Structure 1
């Protein structure tokens, strides 16, 4: 990623709630996320599903440049952070000339496919396993391990509901059940999984799905 950072035309700090990419806009830059946490949301007739989270070291917006297509999704900040911006011509040149950049592009595409596969698999299951699967996957990818357990910060109950295609009330009830079982502790925008492996086993989260992230 050094080549991308060195070639970045500008860096921009963003705040929670900032929109870094808007669906439908012209694709003219790629972004390398340096810090913070963002969500990727598809515009969909009033119901905008949250399809993934984006953290440090991730590229966003590069597919629009590669395929010369408009932006396909909104990218919105969940936590404060910073991004490096690369003009289209600079990014395309580095993709051609730099092996590390090509590897990052390929890995980013692979990671998106893994997330998509996990999301498709989750749709075959009930709401409860879908909620648990999201918490496990995102906590392992974007959280941190502490003495309390695996901690994820910045995500609201509404955003979890958007991700699993369920009502906020339903998600609130399920989270309350997890708290009562001792498998989850919450504060505002903060989720602590004291025993994530046990949580995965109890709800039968497949080893090839979100539970596999816990081993990384």
Structure 2
């Protein structure tokens, strides 16, 4: 598929069939994800792949806040049909360690000034590559947030170290025939280029 077609077709899929995902498709997503740029080539990311039914069920159990345990919303029902979940995680400490090295100024971490948390930004760029690779493989995917209140339960369930923070999760699978655009995409228009692109001066 042409790259421009991948970009055009990418959307957040929220309902999936029970068709199995080819193992090579998951591997392609991960292989492309680690090609994302990272500040200082720190590569402070990690990806937890959950593609067994018991693991996927455990993910939903530990990441759903207690007050939403009985939630029967269409969104949650649809998302729970995804046969695989990939959790992209970011490590701040890897970045700070990297910038303590000589070629990056050997700046002590308590003196480092970051314009933005690039460990999150870089892992976000890797996540986009996963979304695009899913489209290229004829699959659908959806990036969604994981409640902060559930991070410790998630770490405990899957043995994830405290030095890595989940920035969200990506549901992956074959799109269901009745999958529809989310409400925001159906009710809001894409902002025209003239509103968001500024040349030479704002």
TM-score, shorter chain, exceeding 0.5: no
Range of TM-score over shorter length: under 0.3
Is the strand fraction higher in 1 or 2? 1
